[in-house]
Every structure is written in C-alpha cells, then in structure tokens.
Amino acid sequence: MLTSENALRALQLTVAEQAIKEQPVSIAISDSHGELLAFVRMDGASLHSGVVAQNKAYTAARDRQATADLGAWSRSSGRSMGYWSDPRFTGFGGGLPLRANGEVVGAVGVSALSEDEDVLVAQALIARWLP
C-alpha cells in the first residue's frame, strides 16, 4: 500500500540525490486516483515544472501507463491530448505508475529536465519505493 510516509521517504531520497547532481526538479507522488500525496519543487526548478510534475503523476495514475507512452499514442494516432476531455492529461515523459502486486497504487511525476532525464529520475524514485 502506498502511504504518505513512504511517499515522503522516497521523495526525500530522490531530492537528496538530485541535489548532489545539482539537477533541481519538481516531483509529485499521487495515489491511484491521481490525487497528490507528496510534492516538492526543488530550489532552482522552474515554477512551471511544478505544475507539469503534478499533471504527469495525475495522468500516469488515471491512465495506468507511462505518460511518454500516452504521448506516443497521441502522436501516432493523430489524436490530440484533448481526446480525454481532461486538461490535466499530458503526454510528456516523466510520469510513471507505481505498481504493487500488479495493481496501480499511485504514480510519480518528475519535471524540469529533459523528458528522458525526467523518466530516469522517476524510475530511480520507483526503485526506492517499497510498499
């Protein structure tokens, strides 16, 4: 089960690692419905990255897949992100669902770096997370 306590622990470990790398990011962790459990915008991360990180976590939780995959589908199908009628849905990479026993229990969204780097930070956070 994803709790606020383990969400905050994973967030703190990731922030410490990003500070060492001098790569400030915004990180959002949501529950399985996309509702925010933990969030930080590190000093030096853009204001907009905070909104994008939260939207990435929301999208990954609600759609049960990586945001990059949703973006790829949108581009290949020719459908805009407006297809879902939800202005918070995004196809930028960096949003990943958190799974436990095959079920989506939450999601993480990372923003401020390149999409590929955001994905790597999100993957590292997930690797630290223990239900």
Tens digit of each residue's pLDDT (9 = 90 or more) over 42-95: 999 999 999 999 999 999 999 999 999 999 998 899 888 777 788 999 999 999
* Whether 93 contacts 68, CB under 8 Å: yes
Question: What does the alpha-carbon distance between residue 72 and residue 56 come to, in Å, rounded to a whole number?
Answer: 14
Q: How confident is the model at residue 131 (pLDDT cuts 50, 70, 90)?
A: low
Helices (H) and strands (E) in the chain, counts: 4, 4
Question: Inter-axis angle of helices 4-21 and 115-128, to 10 degrees?
Answer: 130
- Token pair for 54: 């939260």
- The answer to whether 14 and 125 are in contact (CB under 8 A) is yes
Per-residue tokens: 35: 């509702």
Which pTM does this prediction carry? Answer: 0.94
Q: Give residue-wise pLDDT tens across range 108-119.
A: 999 999 999 999
C-alpha distances out from residue 91 to 36, 38, 88, Å: 19, 21, 10
